[in-house]
C-alpha cells in the first residue's frame, strides 16, 4: 500500500469518527449532484418561454408543480435546481481565485519579509478594514452586472484572511532545518517556496478554501438579492430578490421564499461542517486543547483547587 492509499484510508477513518464532517460532505455532494444533473432532475426548463393563465401566477404547490409557481408562472422546483448551478459555480470559482491570490501573497510576504512583506501585509490590512459587501456593491454598480464579474469581484476581495494565515505558517516553516539546509546549499527562493514551504501550507489552504466557498456563496446571494446579480441567470439570490420585489410576502407565497433560502442554508451548513472537520484533521491541537475537552477543563480546575488548598 503506497502513501496515497494510506492517507486515503486514514482520512476515511477520521471522517467516519466525525459524523458532522461526514454529514457536511454528504450535503455538499448532494447539492453538487443536483447542480450537475439539473437538466435531468428539473421537471421544466426555467429559461424556456411559456404562456400562463392568471391563476398560475404564484400558484401554490400542486401535482404538476411540487413547489408551486413564481410570479411568471415558472416552476419553483426547476428554478431551485438550476439556481444551484450558479450559486455553486460562483462559490467554487471565486474561492479558487481568492485562495490563489491569498496563498501567493502569504508565501511571498512570509518568506521574504522585510519591506516586501510589510508592504503586502499593510495592503492586506487595508482591504480587511473595508467591509466587503459595500465595496462589492460599489464595484458591481460601476463595473456592471454579470456572472464572471461577480466571481472576479468576490475573488479579488476575499483573499485577505488566507494571506495572513499562510504568512503566519510560512514564518514558522522557513525556520525549520530542512529549509535552512536548502538555503545553505544555494537553492533558489522559488525552489524553496515551491518544493519545501508550499507543501506544508497546502492542508491549511484546503481547509480554508472549503470555508471560503460558503462565504462566496453568501456574497453572491447577497449581491443577487440586492438586484446586482446576473439578470439572465437563475440563482438562489435572484429568486429571493424576485420573491421580495414581486409581492411573495404580501401574498403569503411561502413556497417562493423558503426553497432558495433553505438551499443557501443547506450548502453553507454542509461546507461549515466539512471545513471545521478538515481543520481538526489538519490541526490536531484544536481537539486536544483543554478548552475543547470538558474532562480536561475539570482536571485543570480541580488541580488548581488542590494547589490552593495545599498552600
> CATH homologous superfamily for 3-310?
MetI-like (1.10.3720.10)
d(CA 15, CA 31) in angstroms, rounded, equals 19
Cell of 310: 495545599
DSSP state for residue 186 in the 8-state scheme: T
- Over residues 59-73, the pLDDT tens digits come to 888 888 888 888 888
Residue 33 confidence (pLDDT): 93
Q: How confident is the model at residue 300 (pLDDT cuts 50, 70, 90)?
A: very low
3-class state of residue 69 by DSSP: strand
Lowest mean pLDDT: which of 49-53, 101-105, 120-124?
49-53
3-class state of residue 302 by DSSP: helix
Contact indicator for 75, 67 with CB cutoff of 8 Å: yes
- Over residues 179-199, the pLDDT tens digits come to 888 888 888 888 888 888 888
Residue 294 confidence (pLDDT): 45
More confident residue, 106 or 58: 106
When pLDDT is averaged across residues 122-142 and rounded to a whole number, the result is 86
3-class state of residue 75 by DSSP: strand
**Cα distance from N-terminal residue to C-terminal residue, the chain:** 57
When pLDDT is averaged across residues 90-104 and rounded to a whole number, the result is 92
- Nearest Cα to 84, choosing from 209, 238, 225, 274? 238
Lowest mean pLDDT: which of 14-18, 232-236, 258-262?
14-18
When pLDDT is averaged across residues 91-115 and rounded to a whole number, the result is 91
The per-residue pLDDT of the chain, averaged, comes to 81
Q: Judge residue 113's burial from the number of C-beta atoms within 10 Å of its C-beta, 0-12 exposed, 13-18 middle, 19 or more buried.
A: middle
Q: What is the CA radius of gyration of the chain?
A: 24
Cell of 246: 414581486
Amino acid at each position: 500500500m503506497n502513501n496515497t492509499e494510506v492517507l486515503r484510508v486514514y482520512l476515511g477513518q477520521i471522517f467516519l469518527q466525525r459524523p458532522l464532517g461526514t454529514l457536511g460532505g454528504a450535503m455538499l455532494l448532494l447539492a453538487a449532484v443536483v447542480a450537475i444533473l439539473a437538466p435531468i432532475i428539473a421537471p421544466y426548463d426555467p429559461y424556456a418561454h411559456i404562456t400562463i393563465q392568471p391563476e398560475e401566477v404564484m400558484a401554490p404547490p400542486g401535482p404538476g408543480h411540487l413547489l408551486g409557481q413564481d410570479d411568471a408562472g415558472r416552476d419553483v422546483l426547476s428554478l431551485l435546481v438550476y439556481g444551484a448551478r450558479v450559486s455553486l459555480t460562483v462559490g467554487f470559482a471565486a474561492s479558487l481565485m481568492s485562495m490563489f491570490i491569498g496563498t501567493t501573497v502569504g508565501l511571498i510576504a512570509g518568506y521574504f519579509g522585510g519591506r516586501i512583506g510589510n508592504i503586502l501585509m499593510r495592503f492586506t490590512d487595508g482591504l480587511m478594514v473595508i467591509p466587503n459587501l459595500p465595496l462589492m456593491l460599489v464595484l458591481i454598480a460601476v463595473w456592471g452586472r454579470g456572472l464572471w464579474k461577480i466571481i472576479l469581484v468576490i475573488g479579488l476581495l476575499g483573499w485577505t484572511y488566507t494571506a495572513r494565515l499562510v504568512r503566519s505558517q510560512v514564518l514558522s516553516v522557513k525556520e525549520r532545518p530542512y529549509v535552512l539546509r536548502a538555503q545553505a546549499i544555494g537553492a533558489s527562493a522559488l525552489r524553496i517556496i515551491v518544493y519545501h514551504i508550499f507543501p506544508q501550507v497546502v492542508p491549511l489552504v484546503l481547509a480554508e478554501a472549503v470555508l471560503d466557498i460558503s462565504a462566496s456563496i453568501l456574497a453572491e446571494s447577497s449581491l443577487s438579492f440586492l438586484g446586482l446579480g446576473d439578470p439572465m441567470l437563475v440563482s438562489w439570490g435572484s429568486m429571493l430578490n424576485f420573491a421580495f420585489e414581486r409581492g411573495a410576502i404580501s401574498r403569503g407565497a411561502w413556497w417562493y421564499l423558503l426553497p432558495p433560502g433553505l438551499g443557501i442554508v443547506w450548502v453553507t451548513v454542509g461546507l461549515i461542517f466539512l471545513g471545521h472537520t478538515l481543520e481538526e484533521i489538519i490541526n490536531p491541537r484544536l481537539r486536544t486543547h483543554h478548552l475543547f475537552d470538558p474532562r480536561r477543563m475539570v482536571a485543570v480546575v480541580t488541580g488548581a483547587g488542590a494547589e490552593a488548598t495545599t498552600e
